[in-house]
Homo-oligomer: A and B are copies of this chain.
Amino acid sequence: MELNTQRKRTSKRRRDILDASLRCFMKHGIEAATIEQIREASGASSGSIYHHFGSKQAIAVALYLDGMEELAIVLRNAMQEQDDLRQGIRNVIAAYLLWVSENRDWALYLLRVATADLSRDEASTIDEINRRSREDLARWLRPFVDRGEIEQLPDELYASLIYGAATHFARHWLVGRLTLDVDFVVETLAHAVWCSISKPAPPDRSATNKSRNGKSKGLKSAANPLRSGKGASK
């Protein structure tokens, strides 16, 4: 674990370049930011920058991986609650939105790059991160599924159901289109998410009628709704 001065210097330079890059990317736009700007902001020479990263795109990817890693840790920590899942889900959503609100630049950057076009290599690294994150979630939820507290669904969908609304909100909020109180949003989204994945009641026959018994019907009836939806023109 001994870091000699070489390595210390190196990793500091790397970090300086990354930090400067994030600032430049957010200030001028990822595409518009120039190596010259990053060079100036970081104090490194262009040669040094290229030595460490190889291309501007590679800097962007490294930055993305850094951020995703950090966010994944935040979320993983929020998944500790083992008793009350409802509370746990609220914690996760709260943690996410809190992180977003405290790291606006960083969060916005992640949302921007998330769908950017990347090389095979880069994409597969990112896939890996996403896969792990999905697994974190699935592992956490499994006991609750087994106990019948929440619906059994493909792992892929849990992420969409749990993070979808929060992400959507964050995206618009960060761009300044929305102005709601974050605390309120947390509670509202947490409540909504909980309703959307929790199972009706225990083995209590005679469940409520209107809003909760539709599961199997909803899932099977109206065959091929994709073809019959009204807006399906084109």
Chain A interface residues toward B at CB < 8 A: 26, 28-32, 57, 74-81, 86-87, 90-92, 94-95, 97-99, 102, 108, 111-112, 114-118, 123, 127, 130-131, 153-154, 156-157, 159-161, 163-169, 171-172, 174-175, 177-178, 180, 182-202, 207-212, 214-215, 218-220, 222, 224-226, 229-234
Inter-chain CA distance A116–B118, complex, in Å, is: 15
Inter-chain CA distance A44–B19, complex, in Å, is: 41
A192 partner residues in chain B, CB cutoff 8 A: 161, 196-197
The A interface, classified by DSSP as helix, strand, loop or mixed, is helix
Q: Are A212 and B212 in contact (CB under 8 A)?
A: yes
A164's partner among B30, B108, B168 (CB-CB below 8 A) is: B168
Inter-chain CA distance A22–B175, complex, in Å, is: 24
Counting every copy of the chain, the complex holds 2
A199's partner among B75, B183, B211 (CB-CB below 8 A) is: B211
Q: Are A189 and B160 in contact (CB under 8 A)?
A: yes
Chain B minimum-CB-distance residue to A97: B226
Q: Are B188 and A225 in contact (CB under 8 A)?
A: no
A211 partner residues in chain B, CB cutoff 8 A: 194-195, 198-201, 212
Q: What are 23 inter-chain pairs, A to B, with CB distance below 8 A?
A: A26-B117, A29-B117, A29-B118, A76-B231, A90-B222, A91-B225, A94-B229, A95-B232, A99-B231, A111-B115, A115-B175, A131-B177, A157-B180, A157-B185, A160-B172, A161-B192, A165-B196, A184-B219, A186-B225, A186-B226, A187-B218, A194-B218, A201-B209
